[in-house]
Chain A
Amino acid sequence: MSATAVDRVKQRFEELAAQGQAALVTFITVGDPNPDATLAYLHALVRGGADILELGVPFSDPMADGPTIQRASERALEGGMTLRRVLALVAAFRATDSRTPLVLMGYLNPIERMGYPAFAGAAAAAGVDGVLAVDLPPEEAAEFHADMRAAGLAQIFLLAPTSSANRIAAVCRYASGFVYYVSVKGVTGDKPVDVAEVTSRVAALKAVTSLPVGVGFGVRTPATAGAVAQAADAVIVGSALVEIIEQASSEPACATALEGFVRGLKDAMNAARAAPGAR
């Protein structure tokens, strides 16, 4: 199990690279509005063309998130979602999908409360492939990193427009799976990404690391996803999907809407990569 975890992410990136595609990473918050709906939505995202699933672990104080994901977190917590229940849901997803890489994104405190080794072991057993703890920079990550490695899980780190060359190098030494470039100064879902700036930053990152580079925070439309896909190895979309969930009239209608929206994103990304002059 432990060897497959990191490999599932790696393998997915290799398959996509061979086809000239960028990966579409989709984020939704687990338990928003309830666990059964989340499970159905995850499968819908995969049907629509999501290459990697990113699952938001709800936290009471999501400091890096904008209002959309804050509200999703509050809805999930009101429904009783916990980190242990997130892992149970991952295991349920894995019962019917053993191929799609799946990473958790959340804040450190619920993981600390569970205990690093207990969490890493349970996450690997459930079928998680990687973890991004938003408020855990590499400087504070030595102990957690050791437990993650021992469990065979990828540790995903953020890089930001404010990251210095030294920090980029330090983060890339610790990172596995892929690195997550935060495309804007701000919180999730905040302001639109500046494609030209992101393109040059991604090029600079790729000179430092051999890991795939994903870009998120501010990608909301097929057009932006396509433009970012020309530069990055992965495009991460979250708040736009969470808004679809928030505004849905029914769960089946929501699953259909998610699938359709994701297909639009993925088609735009593939078209942009296929366009003359791309890459």
Chain B
Amino acid sequence: MNASRDSTLDLVGASPTRWPDATGHFGPYGGKFVAETLMAPLAELEAAYRECQADPAFIAEFERDLAQYVGRPSPLYHAERWSRELGGAQIYLKREDLNHTGAHKINNTVGQALVARRMGKRHIIAETGAGQHGVAAATVAARFGMSCRVYMGANDIQRQSLNVFRMKLLGAEVMPVTSGSKTLKDALNEALRDWVTNVDHTFYIIGTVAGPHPYPEMVRDFQCVIGRETRAQCLAQVGRLPDSVLACVGGGSNAMGIFHPFLDDTAVRLIGVEAGGDGIETGRHSAPLSAGIPGVLHGNRTYLMQDENGQIIETHSISAGLDYPGVGPEHAWLKDSGRASYVAVTDTEALKGFHALTRLEGIIPALETSHALAYAMQWAPTLPKDHIMVINVSGRGDKDIPTVATRAGISM
């Protein structure tokens, strides 16, 4: 099973940790819960993706793009000053914020764009919350000369205006979504409606490890480069594997990307940090793994924020990228199996993480990432000095500066 760890795209059935099963399930989670019209295109996508996985030329092109276009490998950086300040664990940062476009999202869009091109699709659609995935999708569409339409909640358009303009500069059409809570879940609904309507020529690039099979698996595979690099870098720089790996979890793609290559290393603790919003006890949060109930939404069964009648409830987070009522089905499975654990931190705590990294290490992190940083601030001081903790810095914080300023009462 260690051999397959080094391959770029996981092969089905190569390891006991290598879920999903043949029908796209992670234990009771995942699956394909979509209306009939999408069943055929999903089967077509899966067949195309299986071909890609088996094609050395595809894998070579993906790896070349990651190296030369995305700028990989991203560094693993020992945050010595911050570690000293916290007085416990040694904290290492996986610098996905240094990727082209400023977040981990580009790993996945580069991969899916290659699949789209192979399938002969010339039109890309995507949903986005914080705008990072939208920018990453618009970027690869520009590069491949494909047209691109990005669905974004009207509320998110307001709080992430910088990314909206970036997408437009890249030639994408940004479609405001005004239904429901006007955030990421509604953008996903609208993207699914677009896909079902224009299914013949459209490729839907889902931005996270959710949606119907094969998306959770495919997106994970494209993001696993994060964990594979981290593992090798930690062995080279520290001489051993880390004791813990932390990542923020909204849909969960950056967390799954860094967790998955460590699944067989059972001594490595995997901790996902959800958005606690105003606090789990207030009900105003986005933490389905911490306080949700399994159900079916957006094509898969997973933990959901829902009421007693099965209606999806509105989520709250300072971070648009975590403001989602579901989570990737593999995270649900890792939670139930105990292989990973999930915690939540509040908006206020996340802001402390944001400021700490900015002031002590000169790295301005995304508000999403700041949730993982905030949990590290609470936990690291309680750990011995030889505890090696890796945190995935999923994105940079430039896009969040207006939000942080507003919160601090500063007008820019």
Chain A residues in contact with chain B, CB under 8 A?
A: 59-64, 66-67, 70, 74, 77, 82-84, 107-114, 134-137, 139-140, 157-164, 167, 171, 182, 185-187, 190-191
Contact = CB atoms under 8 A, between A and B. Distances in A.
A167 B40 contact: yes
A110 B311 contact: yes
Interface string B301-340: 0001010111111000000000000000000000000000
B309 A171 contact: no
Contacts, number: 123
Given A61-B186, A110-B309, A139-B31, 5 more contacts: A64-B196, A135-B299, A140-B31, A160-B40, A185-B198
A208 B298 CA distance: 31
A63 B32 contact: no
B32 A140 contact: yes
Chain B CB count within 10 A is highest, among A61, A74, A134, for: A61
Contacts of B7: none
B406 interface: no
A160 B198 CA distance: 14
A60 B310 CA distance: 9
Mostly, the B contact residues are mixed
A163 B36 contact: yes
A74 B295 CA distance: 20
Contact of A77 (B36, B197, B311): B311
B84 interface: no
B23 interface: yes
Nearest to A71: B179
Nearest to B309: A82
A161 B185 CA distance: 27
Given A63-B189, A162-B40, A113 B295 contact: yes
A136 to B, nearest CB: 6
A109 B189 contact: no
Interface residues of B, number: 38
A158 B35 contact: yes
A161 B197 CA distance: 11
B298 to A, nearest CB: 7
Interface string B30-43: 01111111111100
Contacts of A113: 293, 295, 306, 308-310
Most central of A63, A112, A187 by chain B CB within 10 Å: A63
B297 interface: yes
B192 interface: yes
Contacts of B311: 59-60, 77, 82, 109-110
Closest 5 CB pairs of A and B: A113-B310, A110-B310, A162-B40, A160-B37, A158-B36
A259 to B, nearest CB: 30
Contacts of A185: 37, 196-200
B196 A137 contact: no
B306 A109 contact: yes
A59 B189 CA distance: 12
Most buried by B among A60, A114, A164: A60
A140 B34 CA distance: 10
Contacts of A67: 179
B32 A137 contact: yes
Nearest to B31: A140
B307 to A, nearest CB: 8
B33 A61 contact: no
Contact of B37 (A111, A139, A182, A191): A182
Contacts of A135: 33-35, 296, 299
A167 B308 CA distance: 34
Interface in B250-307: 293, 295-299, 304, 306
B56 interface: no
Given A139-B23, A162-B40, A64 B35 contact: yes
Contacts of B189: 61-63
Contact of A108 (B33, B40, B308, B312): B33
Given A108-B296, A185-B196, A164 B310 contact: no
Interface in B180-232: 180, 185-186, 189, 192-193, 196-200
A134 B261 CA distance: 36
Contact of A63 (B35, B293, B308, B310): B35
Contacts of B185: 61
7 contacts: A70-B179, A112-B295, A113-B295, A113-B309, A160-B40, A163-B36, A191-B197
B312 A162 contact: no
Contacts of A190: 197
B311 to A, nearest CB: 4
A70 B293 CA distance: 24
B193 A84 contact: no
B141 to A, nearest CB: 22
A59 B33 CA distance: 15
Contacts of B179: 67, 70, 74
Contacts of B34: 63, 135, 137
Contacts of B40: 160, 162-164, 167
Nearest to A59: B311
B310 A66 contact: no
A183 B299 CA distance: 22
B186 to A, nearest CB: 8
Given A162-B39, A185-B199, A190-B197, A139 B32 contact: yes
Nearest to B37: A160
B310 A182 contact: no
B312 A109 contact: yes
A110 B192 CA distance: 20
Contacts of B180: 60-61, 74
Given A109-B295, A109-B297, A110-B311, A136 B196 contact: no
Nearest to A186: B197
A206 B181 CA distance: 42
